[in-house]
Structure 1
Amino acid sequence: MASGRDQFLHYLLQGVSIADPQAVVTADPSLARALSAAYLLADTRKGYDILAFVRDTLPLLLRQLQRSTRRERVTYQGQIRGRVDWPATTKMRLQNEVNPALYVCRPPLRQENTPQNQLLKYVLVTLENLIRDLPVELQMAELWTAVSDPPSTPFTQRLTHMTFHLRQALSHVRLHGIDVPDVISTHHLSKAQSSKNEMYGVVVGLYGQYEQLARRHNWEALWPVMSQTLLLPDPTIPWGDTCIRLAVVGFLRTRQP
């Protein structure tokens, strides 16, 4: 029985062609969702490699989350934190039988539920859901990349490592108080893009790639991915042969001058 690699080489030598790859992908919504999500997760290009992000960049980002600072009045007995609000302190002391040890202060309260952190958590939750919903047949595909040694590894191995790091991050105490927005707005993106912490820019890039591939199922957006990464499932499974043919077309397209 021919493997995914064997079938790929067979079609490559035959010069297989598909007149309208976008039509093939969009004709079957289930295939479009699965294939675009799979290549999003398989992408090994610098700046779009999700495994590299969750393994290397994300732990650093979690230690440097953007915070907003606000000040609220807090009453303390015998201690001062932040700035003393003297008018409020005087009033409170008079109401408490002239208590000279009572202070109304405005300590800085740091809040991590910011737009850029909401974008980060949205991306992490979305990626975890994409892995969970990916058909098992595609999870078991051969993953061929131009940057790994050996060039072929089981896709499921990459997904397992990715899932481990995602779950570890989502259980981090600093993400617990951050909301997951229903929709990502331009406000979320602009706040993250303009952050002094450049790691938020990587999050914006990953979100943009998710929009192009996993939501819009843009076939042309797959070409750069296929220049370095190919997914070759068992040709006998549903979609298997179609996925391999599309991989051949994408591979040849990236080699055109």
Structure 2
Amino acid sequence: MSKLSRAALTDAVQEELITYLRNGTINERSVTRALDISGLGIENLNRLKRIHFCLSDDIVEFVEALQGRLRRVKTANQREREVTQGEVRGGIDWQATTRLRYSEAAGDRTQFACKTPYTEYDIPENLVLKKLLWVIHSTVQDDLSNIDYEWRTNAWPTERITKFDRIYARNVHLNRIRDGDNIEINRRMLNTARTARQSLYTDAYTYYDRYRRLLAGAYDDDDISELLSDTLVVPERLPRLFELFCIFRLLRGFSDEGFRLHPIESGSNPLATLEGDQHTVDVYHDRSGELSFHVPLSELDGVEEDYVERIRHIQRRHEELVDAFLGDDTRHSLFSGRPDIVFEVYDSPRREIPVSVILAEIKYSDSPQTFKSGLEELLEYIEFAQQDGYLTDQDIEIRGLLITDGVESNMVAPLDGHIAHLSAADLTAERFSTHWIPERLR
């Protein structure tokens, strides 16, 4: 039985999980410690902060109740001075009219200086409200609406997004307030909203102030740390969470220069990148990166053994039956797979072909049988890894790493310098660096 529980895995990598935007569930555990993500070098960090801010229960509830609360938007009655010819609009400012007639209009008695009443919406508390709603609306539309995972649809179902978009675009009161991207919030505006009598504005102050502190990196504030912890997306499958735990542990010990983490979302982008003076390292999780591990069936051309002919017969019959039953095409191969982690190491300035590749297979198990199958998979990945041909046929250093959750093995240093096994408990910077990181990367 595996030793590391979901709670232990989540707690160990809470900071790094800020970047995780793939399939999973929102964290249900209470915050156990302050989450300081300042030293992680996360790319597009403010975007991730906005996403987590909009996933918080307070923001979702604030938006859900917005339509009814906007009926009580506060305004100020103002009077605008204008000069009219032959007509009166609003009250006449006789003192200003007299000055006008004798200084500018040469005694023209048909001119009037009038005070025209109008309703002012751009008051401080409305500007704070509109800025907050602009932050939420732009984040939901640009970043959340295209995510098709359950954690997003639970917090922001399509109906809620559509309703909010309609309110934001069509509400007569909001439309009369300056556009959110043109609003610069200052301390006076915040103080006015904070001391307002209406809860709409005090809530707007509370949430915008929290957003402002989140962007500023106030991770030691309890409510900021709690917000980040409560909105973490945690992989639902324990093996996937264990894989991320192992990757982040490896990254912590890989180099003193530090990695730049990327948001973990749909697409083929690396999970992390290191850019040093001598090398660049791209790290992929559940992605093949620039490599290929697919060997087409055509590789059998020229081989006439009886076994190969039987394989060909099976594949042909399979194609025929799939087409008959489902009307679909199928694509056969000798081998197709993908390691859990791919490290691609390039010399700087970056070239097209890596100088070193590290492939890792991760097994959330302490079973010797699982160890054996994982080791076999790892050897297959090393043998079949390709980029403009098989890597084993090129001058590229290839290393393999098998990580398990507690399997005891006899090897301490990597076998022949190329294959190593580490238990999750051994994923420390010193152990990893001393025995396994290629010397060029230390």
SS in structure 1 of the partner of residue 75 of structure 2: coil
The aligned counterpart of 1:75 is 84
Aligned-partner Cα distance in 2 for 1:138–1:74: 55
Which of 54, 57, 77 is the equivalent residue of 1:41? 54
The aligned counterpart of 2:329 is none
The aligned counterpart of 1:115 is 124
The aligned counterpart of 2:432 is none
Letter in 2 for 1:142: W
Aligned-partner Cα distance in 1 for 2:70–2:211: 20
- Higher relative contact order, chain-length normalized (CA < 8 Å, sep 6+): 1
Deviation, 1:206, is 0.9
Aligned-partner Cα distance in 2 for 1:88–1:239: 77
Paired residues of 1:70 and 1:108 also in contact (CA < 8 A):
yes
**Residue ranges of structure 1 left out of the alignment (5+ in a row):** 1-8, 144-152, 246-257
Q: Percent identity, aligned pairs only? A: 19
Paired residues of 1:193 and 1:204 also in contact (CA < 8 A):
yes
Aligned-partner Cα distance in 1 for 2:13–2:61: 35
Q: Superposed, which structure 2 residues align to 1:1-257 within 5 Å?
A: 10-12=5-7, 17-18=11-12, 21=15, 22=35, 26-30=39-43, 32-33=45-46, 35-44=48-57, 49-57=58-66, 59-61=68-70, 63-67=72-76, 69-75=78-84, 77=86, 79=88, 81-82=90-91, 84-89=92-97, 92=101, 98=109, 103-134=112-143, 140-142=149-151, 154-157=154-157, 161-162=160-161, 164-174=163-173, 175-176=175-176, 178-179=178-179, 180-181=181-182, 183-216=184-217, 218=219, 220-225=222-227, 231-233=233-235, 241=244
> Normalising by the residue count of structure 1, what TM-score does the alignment of the two structures yield?
0.61
Q: CA RMSD in A?
A: 4.4
Letter in 2 for 1:85: D
Which structure: larger Rg? Answer: 2
Paired residues of 2:89 and 2:115 also in contact (CA < 8 A):
no
Aligned-partner Cα distance in 1 for 2:216–2:162: 21
Deviation, 1:205, is 0.7
The aligned counterpart of 2:396 is none
Total equivalences in the alignment: 217
Aligned-partner Cα distance in 1 for 2:190–2:127: 10
Letter in 1 for 2:59: I
Letter in 1 for 2:205: V
**Residue ranges of structure 2 left out of the alignment (5+ in a row):** 16-34, 249-442
Identify the structure with the greater strand proportion: 2
> Normalising by the residue count of structure 2, what TM-score does the alignment of the two structures yield?
0.39
Identify the structure with the greater helix proportion: 1
